[in-house]
Structure 1
Amino acid sequence: MALWRCDLRVSWRSQLISLGCYGGIMLLILLAPWPAGYWPIWMTLLLLVLFECIRSQRRITARTGEIILLEDNRLLWRGHEWQIKQPVWMISSGVLLSLRREKRKGGLAQAMRSSRQRLWLASDCMSQEEWRRLRQILLNGAPRSPAEPG
């Protein structure tokens, strides 16, 4: 039985925070007082940060689609069943779920994929009603993390 179901959208807040952080790092690299012969080093650093920024944006964009929370801390996401490992870390703007995929037979391709994921569900990637319902279920049904006030 599904306790909660949602069609996740792209989190614009997460994208803006990511762009701001990477943009700040790139600005620091560009404005740092580099000696004259160090241009290959700062250019390499700049390119690495740029590629990591693009990778981050793609990962944020990929976190869309249907997600279903089931009983016993199980989750259906991306065609796989995941077990929510505790503790669930929750703040007012999102929740971080540590997931572990159940082992299934599926050959080499299945074995090569990571069986662990950290999924950040931002409050702006779903409706307010869905967000309130998810928080209610996690606060009432899941053990609280040590960082959460009592």
Structure 2
Amino acid sequence: MALWRCDLRVSWRSQLISLGSYGGVMLLILLAPWPAGYWPAWMTLLLLVLFECIRSQRRITARTGEVILLDEERLLWRGHEWQLRHPVWMVSHGALLSLRREKRKGGLAQAMRSSRQRLWLASDSMSVEEWRRLRQILLNSRPPGPEKPG
């Protein structure tokens, strides 16, 4: 039985923060006092930051779709069952889940993909009611991990 279910949308706040951060770094590269012969160095740095910015935007847009929290330690996302690796890191506008995929099916291509993911669940990627319910579940659940004897 699912404790929580949500169809994630693109987080506009995450996209704006990412664009602002990379834009600031690009501005620093452009405004830095470079010696006259160093234009290939700053142009290379600028291109690297630009490509990383594009990659970041694509990763943010890829974090959409249905997420189902099965219990305090397991969830379904992208057609796979994931297990929470560490305690959930929460702030008022989002939650960071460190996930590990246990079962690998689908041949070599699937096995080559990473079995660990970090999933940022931003509050603006879901409805207010869904965010409140998720926060309530995550704040009231025990942290995942082995039980301590005692």
User: Matched residues in 2 for 1:48 and 1:70: separation?
Assistant: 40
Match of 2:46? 46
Cα 1:130–1:122, aligned 2, differ >3 Å: closer, same or farther? same
Match of 2:147? none
2:72–2:141 CA contact under 8 A, matched in 1: no
Cα 1:61–1:32, aligned 2, differ >3 Å: closer, same or farther? same
For residues 1-150 of structure 1, what are the structure 2 equivalents within 5 Å? 1-143=1-143
* Structure 2 residue runs without a partner (length 5+): 145-150
* Structure 1 residue runs without a partner (length 5+): 145-150
1:19–1:53 CA contact under 8 A, matched in 2: yes
Counterpart code for 1:47: L
Q: CA deviation at 1:72?
A: 4.7
Greater mean alpha carbon deviation, residues 25-34 or residues 69-78: 69-78
Match of 2:148? none
Counterpart code for 1:12: W
1:88–1:142 CA contact under 8 A, matched in 2: no
Counterpart code for 2:7: D
Q: What is the aligned length?
A: 144
1:6–1:130 CA contact under 8 A, matched in 2: yes
2:72–2:142 CA contact under 8 A, matched in 1: no
What whole-Å deviation, never above 9, does each CA across 1:84-122 have from its counterpart, x for those lacking one?
112110010100000000132432111100000000000
User: Matched residues in 1 for 2:62 and 2:105: separation?
Assistant: 25
1:67–1:76 CA contact under 8 A, matched in 2: yes
Q: Which has the higher strand share?
A: 1
TM-score, normalising length: structure 1? 0.93
User: Matched residues in 1 for 2:89 and 2:137: separation?
Assistant: 13
User: Matched residues in 1 for 2:79 and 2:71: separation?
Assistant: 17
Classify the secondary structure of the residue corresponding to 2:34. Answer: coil
Q: Percent identity?
A: 88
Runs of 4+ off more than 6 Å: none
